[in-house]
């Protein structure tokens, strides 16, 4: 599989960018803003990494880990009262988690093929 083609990584990139910019139009407070921006940027960077290097298993694993962190951030950072950001984190985190798990077999196959040659 060549780079920049796996649709799951493009979905994670959109989730990351959307999560990072959501605090700019939603009612927010500082801890929620920082959580969303940092996790969103990290998701976007890991998606770009995965798109550029399709066999990088660490990139897919980072989607899963960052998806879990984004999903749990409203509770951990105590911003569940901010409805828009909470739902953005819950849905975006779940999507990133599912996309990371979904793309892992394809990434593993590319990784194995690259090691053989």
**Each residue of 1-42: pLDDT tens digit?**
678 889 999 999 999 999 999 999 988 899 999 999 999 999
User: Using H for helix, E for strand and C for coil, what is the string for 6-38?
Assistant: CHHHHHHHHHHHHHHHHHHCCCCCHHHHHHHHH
Q: What is the mean pLDDT of the chain?
A: 92
**What number is the average pLDDT over the span 78-85?**
96
Instruction: Check residue 95 and give its pLDDT.
Output: 98
Distances from the Cα of 96 to the Cαs of 30, 103, 112, in angstroms?
23, 10, 24
pTM, rounded to two decimals: 0.91
Question: Residue ranges of the domains in the chain?
Answer: 7-116
């Amino acid at each position: 599989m060549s780079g920049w083609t796996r649709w799951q990584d493009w979905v994670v990139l959109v989730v990351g960018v959307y999560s990072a910019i959501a605090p700019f139009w939603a009612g927010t407070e500082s801890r929620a803003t920082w959580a969303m921006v940092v996790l969103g940027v990290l998701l976007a960077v890991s998606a770009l990494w995965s798109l550029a290097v399709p066999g990088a298993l660490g990139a897919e694993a980072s989607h899963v880990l960052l998806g879990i962190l984004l999903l749990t951030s409203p509770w951990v950072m105590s911003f569940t009262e901010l409805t828009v950001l909470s739902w953005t984190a819950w849905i975006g985190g779940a999507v990133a988690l599912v996309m990371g798990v979904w793309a892992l077999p394809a990434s593993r196959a590319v990784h194995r093929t690259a090691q053989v040659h």
